[in-house]
Structure 1
């Protein structure tokens, strides 16, 4: 019969975009391992790729930039018109002039601008920013006694935080939040992407005129001399790499912590341990880091044609049976949730701090938090790249929404009051919020007078 890895017809390709994969990706990875260290998959209808599920082979790809390039302009099927231009995976795979899709000296130049700018973040200030945003969001639902922690908290917190980190004024920040949310939710993606590009170009122009103490200004000022297009695409990369993974890390860790095994309805696990378990077992970005072999090559006996997408399964590699001992002790140095090699995540420490602070702030504010539905009824959002809950409904004892009021300085003309809880999220169409309903970022700025 021969090795199944050599049977790469369309019928043999495992789809990674349906409900079956979303419900139980572990079972899919187990089936794919029958092909060897890598297997034929379909990321979306008509989008073929090879998925690497073996830890050792994943490291070989990640750490061999001379053989496996990140520049998706090499993608033969796309260049030949065999991939639909409206495919839902294209926004995550097509080339942009940022450090995610570049190689060699160009990658080093762009990555240095990003890492140097991230290196200027003050850890204490970052923690305070997360606490302030967490308190603001908690005040929007704490009086209700119920919430969807995915859409009311984990999704919004990193969006608002990036507005803070980028130094966004109210109008630009509202558009940035609404359109980034629309892109992640797959709602009118083409129009939302155009509006996102426009508002980021406005932000770049503003920071060239009026630099501040923020990541956008630091990128503008960096000696690498980024042009406006490059600046915009580094910001897109930072948001894309920070918002979706962060919300899934927070959401998946909260689910683990709320998985009842005692009369209290809590797992009793430390937050740090829950985050580490998620990075091992349910990494927020499960499959990504698309590479393109620069020549025909074999990976553990599996042929990889030149200029075809090779996707790393961080989740599959983390559960590789060869890693049994490392997995049992959850060695932080072994899992691949942060990637490896020259494109490894440059913001690992800030990302973990954000998740830890957001989760602890929530649990301290709502100590009797429990799942509102049986754990088995929770649904996972379909898609080849992420491991993301659709919703995380919880209940708790209602508490007054006074946290942000307590954080504000009180003056005779400005009493410490909390704005009415919002009744809708950012517009799914991606446009600016109606006049009678401010956007999330401008409402937050109203509270804190930033």
Structure 2
């Protein structure tokens, strides 16, 4: 197919910016403009960070399924190595090399990925569902009597953070620090310090599980025959937390938005939660653009030439909306989208991720049956950034509901997030109770959760 037309024929085509509110609000317009270049086109991920974005489904699969030509090791990134990418660039935390299975290739990737997949395979599905329900009950109790909430900051964001503390087997102190540091990294708040704190608390967790093994993912990774060292263990945990928290909260948030945008009659009698998840994964995937690859030599992607060792980013959202798929869309399976990736680096946890989202959404819809958006959908804001498709907040209102027995069992009420007002508002989404101002930080969400359930 001849893609060498339009803008692609120019010597130095303008790059489409993928940062700022314009892209966050209307990403599909950017994907449509890029299609003038062919199956892939030039973009700017952040100021001074150039890349190629693949928006065609067939070409995306070509890149994802060809690990010998398109590699994941970002130590090859020429612009970064030559000092042309600022070390404080906001995209570096998502693109810089870590020795985990996301950024490795070949035999090293197989070794690390097997340790991760074998550990995830040991999760008990029934127990995981119960754990999600328990965390959901606890979080709903924090705002159910108020009649208003931000379902992103007070529910979809906190649920996977607390759940992963449990899956990793975190004690109270480590879990509070892990929740605080991961939340800061995702929100872009003092990222350098948060990353240092994250590294420190995960290294403590690894040392603890070597001394005191238990039935949790950290222990299973420690004990895996691959024999991972402490640094490798820490980086697999970072990868699992990063891949599990941000995408999960966006999947929950985007699916809730879709369900609440429907009339109550349609929501109750028409679209099932499972169908809403499929709709989001096809049309509003929580990680819209990622899976950065580096070609080992110059490559022509349908008329757009990509230099060796420069980043090629896959647009899962763009590939899913590829016009070439339209004629065959009805014959495609619900799972034919690329939201989970494809090839050797495809998401290893799509089944538990889907179960977590399904359980979390069903739980809150059942607990608060008259849940409704506080504002029209068009007034909601999307968080800027090239990789995610994430709401800033999801303010809702509902009939105040007495807290369950979970709240009654709580020794002392966990403080609501700082800034949350008893009116529908789209402002604050912090993930920790406010600092007490004393020498010791007030109890975090994980400590308060453990107080309730005595885990």
Same fold (TM over 0.5): yes
Per the alignment, do residues 102 and 335 of structure 1 end up closer, same or farther by CA in structure 2, a change over 3 Å counting? same
Superposed, which structure 2 residues align to 1:308-323 within 5 Å? 308-323=310-325
2:170, 2:88 → 1: CA distance?
30
2:222, 2:82 → 1: CA distance?
36
Aligned to 1:413: none
2:320, 2:390 → 1: CA distance?
17
> Given the two structures, how large is their TM-score scaled by the length of structure 2?
0.93
Q: CA deviation at 1:381?
A: 0.2
Correspondence 1:137 to 2:142:
no
For residues 338-381 of structure 1, the C-alpha deviation after alignment (integer angstroms, 9 at most, x for no partner) is 00000000000000000000000000000000001011100000
Aligned partner of residue 300 in structure 2, secondary structure? strand
Contact 1:131–1:361 at 8 Å: present in 2 too?
yes
Q: CA deviation at 1:332?
A: 2.3
Q: CA deviation at 1:404?
A: 1.7
Per the alignment, do residues 256 and 322 of structure 1 end up closer, same or farther by CA in structure 2, a change over 3 Å counting? same
Per the alignment, do residues 417 and 83 of structure 1 end up closer, same or farther by CA in structure 2, a change over 3 Å counting? closer
Aligned to 1:423: 416
1:156, 1:119 → 2: CA distance?
24
2:330, 2:216 → 1: CA distance?
41
Q: Which moved more, 1:430-439 or 1:363-372?
A: 430-439
Aligned to 1:113: 115
Contact 1:402–1:418 at 8 Å: present in 2 too?
no
2:75, 2:271 → 1: CA distance?
45
Aligned to 2:7: 4
Q: CA deviation at 1:178?
A: 0.4
Aligned pairs, number: 440
The one of 436, 445, 448 equivalent to 2:450 is 445
Contact 1:290–1:312 at 8 Å: present in 2 too?
yes
Per the alignment, do residues 430 and 220 of structure 1 end up closer, same or farther by CA in structure 2, a change over 3 Å counting? farther
Q: CA deviation at 1:417?
A: 4.8
1:169, 1:279 → 2: CA distance?
34
The one of 76, 79, 89 equivalent to 1:77 is 79
Aligned to 2:189: 187
Contact 2:209–2:219 at 8 Å: present in 1 too?
yes
Per the alignment, do residues 8 and 42 of structure 1 end up closer, same or farther by CA in structure 2, a change over 3 Å counting? farther
1:350, 1:103 → 2: CA distance?
25
2:113, 2:355 → 1: CA distance?
21
Q: CA deviation at 1:334?
A: 1.8
**Superposition CA RMSD, Å:** 2.1
Contact 1:134–1:361 at 8 Å: present in 2 too?
yes
2:295, 2:438 → 1: CA distance?
45
Contact 2:433–2:442 at 8 Å: present in 1 too?
no
Per the alignment, do residues 360 and 224 of structure 1 end up closer, same or farther by CA in structure 2, a change over 3 Å counting? same
Aligned to 2:427: none
Q: CA deviation at 1:264?
A: 7.6
Aligned partner of residue 294 in structure 2, secondary structure? strand
Q: Which moved more, 1:394-403 or 1:126-135?
A: 394-403
Aligned to 2:126: 124
Contact 1:187–1:429 at 8 Å: present in 2 too?
no
For residues 85-109 of structure 1, the C-alpha deviation after alignment (integer angstroms, 9 at most, x for no partner) is 0000000001000000000000000
For residues 302-321 of structure 1, the C-alpha deviation after alignment (integer angstroms, 9 at most, x for no partner) is 21110000000000000000
2:55, 2:36 → 1: CA distance?
10
Q: Which moved more, 1:428-437 or 1:48-57?
A: 428-437
Per the alignment, do residues 430 and 119 of structure 1 end up closer, same or farther by CA in structure 2, a change over 3 Å counting? farther
Aligned to 1:412: none
2:42, 2:443 → 1: CA distance?
47
Contact 2:410–2:451 at 8 Å: present in 1 too?
no
